[in-house]
């Protein structure tokens, strides 16, 4: 949803600016992720649209469910509640991570495997990606049994598909053309 991205961008940039000032990139990542998880919960979603609940009280409730927030993080939460922008927290968190990765020269890679991967396999893939791209790579792993076997790796717009499903699709395309 483009509108949500447009709404989230200034808040993500503000959070990034505060994190930079405070030299607390990791703490802000954790806080935004925790706040986004609380806001995404069905119980919280029901409260967000309730006109009887004051924005300040809503921010307090969310902060109590995401303990350990700093004053500046609670302030951001209050501003989001006051401006009715809490629904953008997931997008704000994602955009913040993108800004952080750019600043720290880190690539985000999404590795999808047909089966759960061991830590050694993830470390090996991470090492190969770091060598290929010459940057630190942050890998997130998911499992999709529909791949049949192998892995698919996405970094930005680049996708490396070494899955059995991908190979079968390429083979089908070659045979039908």
Domains annotated for the chain, with CATH where assigned, are 2-101 (1.10.520.20), 105-176 (3.40.30)
- Phi, psi for residue 11 in degrees, rounded to 5: -70, -40
Query: Which pTM was predicted?
Result: 0.77
Mean of the per-residue pLDDT values for the chain? Answer: 94
Reading the block at residue 128, the tokens are: 């190969």
Q: Which of 61, 99, 96, 100 is nearest to 78 (CA)?
A: 61
Q: Rounded to 5 degrees, what are φ and ψ at 3?
A: -60, -45
Q: What is the pLDDT confidence band of residue 2, given thresholds at 50, 70 and 90?
A: low
Report how far Cα 141 is from the mean position of its chain's Cα atoms. 13
d(CA 7, CA 61): 23
For position 42, what pLDDT does the model report? 93
- From the number of C-beta atoms within 10 Å of its C-beta (0-12, 13-18, 19+), residue 122 rates as middle
pLDDT reported for residue 156? 85
Q: Above 90 in pLDDT, residue 74?
A: yes
Q: Which helix (H) or strand (E) holds 109?
A: strand 106-113
> Is residue 1's pLDDT more than 60?
no
């Amino acid at each position: 949803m483009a509108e949500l991205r447009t709404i989230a961008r200034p808040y993500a940039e503000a959070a990034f600016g505060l994190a930079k000032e405070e030299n607390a990139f990791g703490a802000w990542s954790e806080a935004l992720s925790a706040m986004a998880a609380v806001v995404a919960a069905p119980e919280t979603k029901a409260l967000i649209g309730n006109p009887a609940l004051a924005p300040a009280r809503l921010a307090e409730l969310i902060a109590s469910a995401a303990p350990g927030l700093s004053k500046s993080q609670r302030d951001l939460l209050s501003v989001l509640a006051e401006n009715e922008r809490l629904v953008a927290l997931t997008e704000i968190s994602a955009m913040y991570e993108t800004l952080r990765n750019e600043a720290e020269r880190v690539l985000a890679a999404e590795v999808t495997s047909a089966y759960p991967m061991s830590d050694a396999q993830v470390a090996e893939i991470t090492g190969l990606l770091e060598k290929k791209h010459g940057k630190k790579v942050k890998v997130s792993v998911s499992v999709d049994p529909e791949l049949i076997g192998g892995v698919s790796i996405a970094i930005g717009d680049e996708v490396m598909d070494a899955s059995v499903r991908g190979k079968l699709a390429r083979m089908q395309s070659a045979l039908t053309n």
